Amino acid sequence: MDLYKFGAKIFVSNPVVVNLRDFIPVFQSWIQKQNIEDHLLIDVHDYSHVPGGPGILLVAHEGNFSMDQEGGRLGLFYYRKRPLDGNARVNLRSIVATALQACKLLEAEPKLKGIKFQTDEILVIANDRLLAPNTPEALAGFQPVVTAALGEIFKGVPIKLSPSSKDARERLGVLARVG
């Protein structure tokens, strides 16, 4: 599996404290300070009016960050658009690490009223329907990559995977339970 277009969504544990529009000035300040390592942060888009949509989107040259509401669960979703230098495991590890870095920055932001992310459950998707269709065969190749990448991040902690959807029209993805 030679992919780099992965995405990782880390869910908010206390969504009742969240006002999506509060992320607009936070993400704008990230652009001014270029807060995410190895990313050129470019623009912010407000999709908070779209039910189950991307919420507030921070566009970067390398990938996009959003406070995503898909599936009725709020979370930070980061997906990579540009190639990385490693294999699928190394690329996915880098993408999840970037998402976790963004979550830490958001948790430290006073304007967000104590937002917390639950790192014991991560949605991981392959954002390339051509190279990774949502089929049992692709899932069989995807799961070991996810297990290995998350195993390197959460050293020694058990990881249990379940398919996020068996619908062939959806992106290939797994819900990883860590711990």
Q: Is the per-residue pLDDT at 80 higher than 90?
A: yes
Chain-wide mean pLDDT for the chain? 95
pLDDT digits (tens, 9 = 90+) for 129-142: 999 999 999 999 99
For the segment 89-97, the average pLDDT, to the nearest whole number, is 96
State what percent of residues in the chain have pLDDT above 70: 99
Q: Is the per-residue pLDDT at 174 higher than 70?
A: yes
Q: What is residue 1's predicted lDDT score, i.e. its pLDDT?
A: 58
Give dist(CA 167, CA 97) in Å, integer: 28
* Token pair belonging to 168: 């062939």
Q: Are 18 and 4 in contact (CB under 8 A)?
A: no
Q: Is the per-residue pLDDT at 62 higher than 70?
A: yes
Q: Is the per-residue pLDDT at 39 higher than 70?
A: yes
Kindly write down the DSSP assignment for every residue of 90-105, as one continuous string: HHHHHHHHHHHHHHHH
Give dist(CA 8, CA 93) in Å, integer: 10
Q: How confident is the model at residue 3 (pLDDT cuts 50, 70, 90)?
A: confident
Each domain of the chain, given as residue ranges in start order, spans 6-178
Q: Is the per-residue pLDDT at 169 higher than 80?
A: yes
Q: Is the per-residue pLDDT at 2 higher than 70?
A: no
Residue 133 class from Cβ within 10 Å (0-12 exposed, 13-18 middle, 19+ buried)?
A: middle
For the segment 23-41, the average pLDDT, to the nearest whole number, is 97
pLDDT digits (tens, 9 = 90+) for 81-91: 999 999 999 99
State what percent of residues in the chain have pLDDT above 90: 94
Bigger pLDDT: 127 vs 1: 127
